[in-house]
């Protein structure tokens, strides 16, 4: 399977076989000019043209809301120009091979279920902590899409009813408290002068270093992230009684600071039956999880996984 993970900044791709071996892995950095529907098709088509002779299918993980019934990507916060983008149909007509698309957080959960921390669970939820917060629900070892395709949008669970306004239009979504955006916002509030001139992606790293060096305010920023994730996990566990939660994405690197708060909040709020044996684990596949998830979907077409 030619697997492509289309992120807001980086596009990762490679070929994965049924044994789970990843070959020809590459990363492309996308500029803002690359983000229109036309440019993305052009970029993807070049990658596909170069790799198609060696594969049976193509899988693309996408950070957006996918309406499965209509086979369109309705919109994507990382690609603001997209509107009802028929990415799958357009590529399939060009390539004459099966093309699969999946939400990137779902692909993450599927990948972790196959080769990562989700291997041991029949039912679990995957959570990605990046620029935004994504989620994927695995029930009976299969992704749960919901009625139309957008189940698992954990980032938009309400954790503060009157809290900060979210990009989705609502208020107090988890994404506003447990993403890199949240860390940057709180860092600007707490360390205004110290982080002046820092680029966005440098701020989280700087705060992490400060926390490691023992700075209480820096630690507090990550602990707050953990607090809100713990609340969301409690809601999920009370609803679904899953066996596990697998947490990945860039912000999970601050595990030592976020995990204690996650655990405290989750165990305090989850009912005693759902709490029993619930494991909250760090993801194992790093930046490759989405690629592995798309490999599973491609291989399933041929009953090889």
Question: Is 159 among the residues that bind Zn ion (CB under 5 A)?
Answer: no
Instruction: Find the part of the chain contacting Zn ion (CB under 5 A) among 106-114, 167-175, 181-189, 293-301.
Output: 167-175
* Phi and psi based region of residue 212 (left: phi greater than 0; alpha: psi -120 to 50; beta: remaining): alpha
Question: Is 15 among the residues that bind Zn ion (CB under 5 A)?
Answer: no
Question: Is 237 among the residues that bind Zn ion (CB under 5 A)?
Answer: no
Question: Is 168 among the residues that bind Zn ion (CB under 5 A)?
Answer: yes
Using DSSP bridges, classify how beta strands 22-29 and 10-16 pair: parallel, antiparallel or unpaired.
antiparallel
3-state secondary structure 214-266: CCHHHHHHHHHHHHHHHHHHHHHHHHHCCCEEEEECHHHHHHHHHHHHHHHHH
Residue in 4, 40, 73, 166 binding Zn ion, rule: CB under 5 A:
166
- Give me the 38-77 binding string for Zn ion, x by CB under 5 A, dash otherwise: ----------------------------------------
Query: For residue 35, what is the DSSP state?
Result: G
Instruction: Find the part of the chain contacting Zn ion (CB under 5 A) among 74-82, 127-135, 152-160, 235-243.
Output: 152-160
Residue 12 structure tokens: 């990762």
End-to-end CA distance of the chain: 12
* Phi and psi based region of residue 153 (left: phi greater than 0; alpha: psi -120 to 50; beta: remaining): beta
- In the complex, least distance from residue 175 CB atom to Zn ion, rounded to whole angstroms: 6
Instruction: Find the part of the chain contacting Zn ion (CB under 5 A) among 37-45, 150-158, 205-213, 226-234.
Output: 150-158
Question: Is 154 among the residues that bind Zn ion (CB under 5 A)?
Answer: no
Interface positions with Zn ion (CB under 5 A) = 156, 166, 168, 170, 173
């Amino acid at each position: 399977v030619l697997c492509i993970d289309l992120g807001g900044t980086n596009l990762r791709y490679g070929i994965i076989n049924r044994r789970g071996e990843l070959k020809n892995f590459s990363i492309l950095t996308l500029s803002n000019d690359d983000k229109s529907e036309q440019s993305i098709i052009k970029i993807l088509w070049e990658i596909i043209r170069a790799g198609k002779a060696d594969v049976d299918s193509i899988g693309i993980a996408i950070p957006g809301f996918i309406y499965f019934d209509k086979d369109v990507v309705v919109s994507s916060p990382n690609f603001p120009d997209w509107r009802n983008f028929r990415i799958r149909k357009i590529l399939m007509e060009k390539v004459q091979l099966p093309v699969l698309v999946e939400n990137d957080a779902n692909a993450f959960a599927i990948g972790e279920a196959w080769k990562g921390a989700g291997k041991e669970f029949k039912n679990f939820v995957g959570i990605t902590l990046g620029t935004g917060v994504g989620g994927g629900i695995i029930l009976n070892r299969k992704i749960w899409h919901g009625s139309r395709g957008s189940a698992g949008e954990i980032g938009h669970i309400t954790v503060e009813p009157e809290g900060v306004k979210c990009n989705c239009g609502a208020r107090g979504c988890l994404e506003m408290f447990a993403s890199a955006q949240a860390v940057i916002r709180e860092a600007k509030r707490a360390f205004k002068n110290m982080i002046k001139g820092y680029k966005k992606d440098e701020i989280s790293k700087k705060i992490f270093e400060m926390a490691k060096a023992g700075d209480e305010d820096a630690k507090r920023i990550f602990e707050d992230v953990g607090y809100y994730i713990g609340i969301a996990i409690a809601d999920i566990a009370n609803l679904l009684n899953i066996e596990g939660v697998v947490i990945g994405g860039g912000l999970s690197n601050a595990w030592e600071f976020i995990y204690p708060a996650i655990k405290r909040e989750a165990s305090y709020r989850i009912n005693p039956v759902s709490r029993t044996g619930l494991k909250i684990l760090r993801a194992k596949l790093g930046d490759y999880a989405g690629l592995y998830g798309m490999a599973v979907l491609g291989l399933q077409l041929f009953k090889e996984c």
